[in-house]
Amino acid sequence: MKSAKTAKSSASARTGRGVARGPAKGTSRETVKKRRGASQTEAAVDLIRLKIIDMSLEPGSRLDEPLLRNHFKLGRTPAREAISRLVAEGLVTIFPNRGGMFVRGLDLVEIGEVIMAYQLVESVLAQLCRFEDQDLVADLEEIQARYTHEVRRKSFLGITSVNEEFHLRMHRSIGNALFYEFALSTHRHLRRLLVLIYKIESTEKNVLESQMEINIGEHVGIIDAIRRGDRTTLNRLLPAHAQQAQTRLTRILSEKRIPPLTVDQLTSDFFGNRRGFRTDRG
């Protein structure tokens, strides 16, 4: 028969009452503190990155610690470390002569560089993607199911996030860490451009839905080519898929009725409308 003391200890183990809440055995309080700080920094980086990608933080807007602390409720250290990380990722730019840090711009030159880098990494991917990766097709099919779900929800952040995952899974099969980092950086910048394109296309329902179906179909074709080990078809599909961003942007620019229209004007109009919308609602 258990003693009262033993029974009490067992109950404490089950309920968590009376159990010390200090660090686990072999883990110092300093280590726990560092892990907590790292977790807060990661959360801050993810939050700010998403705000840059969905353009809540507009291209070219000022980004400083007081803004992050007051608007996003971040602590001083996570805010400072998050900015440093985003500078390294290229999403934040330091301009000493302008007295601070700014969200990376999105002008015509920037967009051209993103599109060129994207077409480059996907063309190389078509040539080097390893069909011998036994889990590749199954992984892509699982990712594609989630991609389709995000498309049906019309969640632009969700669509671009899973799209990035889809392409990076293929890049991971190559087994080149340096090229993977380049592809990762390219797709992070591409996400912001794609979100802008989706938001502009969303003003024309038929155009948006048609483009989403095209994207789904192209993904399915890419998976099928990999399943069959068809390098020739993959060499055709992946570069053409990457070309879509440029084609969509060209269509948007050519269909506007105020020539000559630049991307700078397009983004200015877009953000101007957003500000006006907020003002009207507020």
Instruction: Tell me if 234 sits within 8 A of 130, measured CB to CB.
Output: no
Q: State pLDDT tens for residues 158-194.
A: 999 999 999 999 999 999 999 999 999 999 999 999 9
Mean pLDDT of all residues belonging to the chain: 81
Give the per-residue pLDDT at 84: 87
Please check whether residue 52 is in contact with residue 63, taking contact to mean a CB–CB distance below 8 angstroms: no
- What distance in Å separates the CA atoms of residue 17 and residue 205, rounded to the nearest whole number? 56
Cβ neighbours of residue 158 closer than 8 Å, sequence gap 6 or more: 150
Domain ranges (residues) in the chain: 28-103, 108-274
Do 108-274 and 28-103 have the same topology in CATH?
no
Burial class of residue 230 (count of CB atoms within 10 Å of its CB; 0-12, 13-18, 19+): middle
Give the pLDDT confidence score for residue 8 in this predicted structure: 45
Give CATH for domain 28-103: 1.10.10.10
Q: What is the CA radius of gyration of the chain?
A: 24
Segment 205-224, tens digit of pLDDT: 788 999 999 999 999 999 99
DSSP letter at 1 equals: -
Q: For the domain made up of 108-274, give the CATH fold.
A: Four Helix Bundle (Hemerythrin (Met), subunit A) (1.20.120)
Record the pTM.
0.74
Contact (Cβ atoms closer than 8 angstroms) between residue 111 and residue 144: no
* Chain position carrying tokens 């038929």: 206
pLDDT confidence of residue 2: 47
| pLDDT for 272 | 54
Euclidean distance between CA atoms 110 and 267, whole angstroms = 13
Q: Higher-confidence residue: 107 or 25?
A: 107
